Amino acid sequence: MYIPIILGTAREGRQSEKAANYVLGEVRKNKDIETELIDVRDFLTKRTDNTRRLPEAKKLSSKISKADGIIIVSPEYNHGYPGELKIMLDLIYEDFHKKPVAFCGVSAGGLGGARMIEQLRQVVIELHMVPIREAVYFSNIKSLFDEKGQITDQSYSKRMGVMLDELLWYAKALKKAG
C-alpha cells in the first residue's frame, strides 16, 4: 500500500507541518504502508495552466498514479482551503480517480478545520475520489504540540487509528475492484 500525505499549506511558519509530521509518524507505524510527505510548496506554479503538461503536474502524477489512497493535512484559512492546495489538486485529474482520501484539519482555534474539510470533500468528489467519513481535527494547534514538536494529547493516536482503518478498508476494496 502506498498512501502519501499531502501537506496543504505553503505559508511560512506553517503550524500544519507539525500535524503532518505527526500523521507521517503514525502512518509509518503500519509496516504495510509505504508513505511520504507531498509538500504543496513543490507544486506552486505561476501559470496554473491545466493542460497537465507542466513539470509540476507530471511530478504529481507520478506519485498519485501509484497511490492506493491519500491523506490531506491542511489548515483552514477563512473557512476554506489554502489556495496553493487547490492549485495542486487542479493540476491533474484521472490519477485521482477511485482512490479514497482522508482529511486532517488544522486550526488555531477549537474547530479543527472542520469547515475546510467540508469544502474539500466537495472538490475531491469531482475528482472521482472517495472522501471517507473518519477525519482527525487538530484544534488549538499551537498548544497541541510542544517545543520539540511532540503531541501533548495522546488521544490523537487512537483517532489516527480509526481514520487509518477506514482508509485502508476503502483502499483495499477499491484496489481489488479496480
Cell numbers describing residue 147:
517545543
- Interaction of residue 12 with a copy of itself, rule CB under 8 A: yes
Site string for a copy of itself, 95-124 (x = CB under 8 A): ---------------xxx-xx--xxxxxx-
Nearer CB in complex with a copy of itself: 27/116: 116
- Interaction of residue 78 with a copy of itself, rule CB under 8 A: yes
> CB-based burial of residue 69 (10 Å sphere; 0-12 exposed, 13-18 middle, 19+ buried)?
buried
Among 7, 85, 144, 151, the residue binding a copy of itself under the rule CB under 8 A is 85
> Cβ 64 to a copy of itself, closest distance in Å?
14
> Cβ 172 to a copy of itself, closest distance in Å?
7
- Interaction of residue 165 with a copy of itself, rule CB under 8 A: no
Quickly tell me which residue has 507541518 as its cell: 17
Cell numbers describing residue 4:
502519501
Interacting span for a copy of itself (CB under 8 A) from 31-39, 43-51, 56-64, 148-156: 43-51
Quickly tell me which residue has 507542466 as its cell: 54
CA distance 6 to 168: 17
Distance from the Cα of residue 111 to its chain's centroid: 18
| Cα separation values, 21 from 34, 115, 148, Å | 15, 22, 12
Residues 6+ apart with CB under 8 A from 58: 52
Nearer CB in complex with a copy of itself: 28/58: 58
Q: Which chain residues interact with a copy of itself by CB under 8 A? A: 9-13, 44, 46-50, 77-90, 110-112, 114-115, 118-123, 125-128, 130-133, 137, 139, 169, 172-174, 176-177
